[in-house]
Structure 1
Amino acid sequence: MSKPDAKAAVANKYLVTDTTKKKINFPTLPANINRLFYVQRDPNTNTIVYELNMGANGELNTEEPMHVYWIKYNEHGQHEELNFIQRKFAYGLTQKPLGNGKYDIRFVSYKKFALTLMKSADGKYHIYATIAQKQAILNRIFVKIEGGSFWLPNVVYVELKGTDPATGQEIVDRFKP
């Protein structure tokens, strides 16, 4: 094989590899008045939903203000609670009252990312986070994972999407944890 043919073979190898990568189309969640934000990640469309934990009386559960669960889109779209390992080591939250109806919220798997649950000027609860160095209402998190293991996934990046509460504009930021 001549050198140009070898280059063509290598180029074709990469083309085949690139075209065989599975592209995932993530669903947009329907409106839900209690949903605060959601997390989607590779390798499937299953979505973790973080919503207000409202009691039967319509009041916020002050002991555990947020409820976390799955929407299993790659199965039948059913809702499922997080299992013990997911709740304690991956997608669960620590939830601590700060007073005046505010709560410090942290992911159990990434405690340095501070979230604040509080009412905004519209009288509704929202999750606030720092996105692109601005305080914003968090709407969505996407986690790009390539390989790794169950306990130590290789996180390529985390993308945050939120809304600037002053202007209503979308704010997006990516970082490598």
Structure 2
Amino acid sequence: MNNTPIKLTVLILFLFTTFTLPLSASVSFNSFDNITGKDSAARKKHEKPLVFPTPPADANRLFYIQRTPNTNTLIYDLNIDKKTGKPHTETPVHAYWIRYNEQGQKEELNYIQRKFAYGLTAKHLGDDKYDIRFVSYKKFPLTLMKAADGKYHIFASVAQKQIMLNYVFIKIEGGSFWLPNVIYVELKGIDPATGKEITERFKP
């Protein structure tokens, strides 16, 4: 049996719940009622379109994730070992929040987020290269390694090409707490051979 759709659903579920809830919030099913028909149309009419901020530039930035229905942003930065000047062998990537939907503060991932949703596993492959996977969707391989510019980047397979991943966006419209209606997932990055931006959008 192929478990890939199940694992992808788990990842999308965590993306939905964690971005929607503050870290300290408890789950209340009453606040995640289905939105359908006239209620949905009325709500959309009065909602202002979200304006997603671009996180401030950082020399160690690898990529970041944003999604509807709010602007909270998940950041993935290179984690350098100060003693060696190279990526930390066990945790070469540092994941954390910028909570734009609150006060724009930075916050570390909590235990559940690290272990079941946004956390990454890392396997050192030698030659300053690492196999990187989301804990909730290990069949999407990422590679952390140096590019021709001498800097570390996250490489992913997009549109049948290896690109330097910069951005992931998830579009959600309605649905329920357990079954959000995911319209599409969009990946953006740079083709290292041409310097051109590559975008791939798909519906999971």
Alpha-carbon distance in structure 1 between the residues aligned to 2:112 and 2:40: 38
For residues 101 and 56 of structure 1, do their structure 2 counterparts lie closer, same or farther at Cα, with a shift above 3 Å needed? closer
Structure number with the bigger relative contact order (C-alpha 8 A, sep ≥ 6) is: 2
Q: Which residue of 1 aligns with 2:191?
A: 164
Q: Secondary structure of the equivalent of 1:75?
A: coil
Alpha-carbon distance in structure 1 between the residues aligned to 2:57 and 2:177: 33
Q: Which residue of 2 aligns with 1:145?
A: 172
- 1:42-121 alignment to 2 at 5 Å? 42-57=68-83, 58-121=85-148
Alpha-carbon distance in structure 2 between the residues aligned to 1:169 and 1:21: 35
Pairwise CA RMSD:
2.1
For residues 14 and 109 of structure 1, do their structure 2 counterparts lie closer, same or farther at Cα, with a shift above 3 Å needed? closer
Q: Figure out how many residues of one structure are paired with residues of the other and give that number.
A: 165
Q: Which stretches of structure 1, 4 residues or longer, exceed 6 Å deviation after superposition?
A: 12-15
For residues 76 and 15 of structure 1, do their structure 2 counterparts lie closer, same or farther at Cα, with a shift above 3 Å needed? closer
Amino acid at match of 2:99: K
Q: Secondary structure of the equivalent of 2:116?
A: helix
For residue 51 of structure 2, the aligned residue among 19, 25, 31 is 25
Amino acid at match of 2:154: I
Q: Which runs of 5+ in 1 are unaligned?
A: 1-11
Alpha-carbon distance in structure 1 between the residues aligned to 2:180 and 2:137: 13
Q: Secondary structure of the equivalent of 1:166?
A: coil
For residues 13 and 73 of structure 1, do their structure 2 counterparts lie closer, same or farther at Cα, with a shift above 3 Å needed? closer
Identity of aligned residues (%): 65
- Indicate the structure with greater strand content: 1
After superposition, give the CA deviation of every residue in 1:86-110 in whole Å (9 maximum; x if it has no partner).
1111111111111221111111122
For residues 14 and 83 of structure 1, do their structure 2 counterparts lie closer, same or farther at Cα, with a shift above 3 Å needed? closer
Greater C-alpha radius of gyration = 1
Q: Which residue of 2 aligns with 1:39?
A: 65
Give the TM-score taking structure 1 as reference length.
0.84
Q: How far 1:30 moved relative to its partner?
A: 1.8
Give the TM-score taking structure 2 as reference length.
0.74
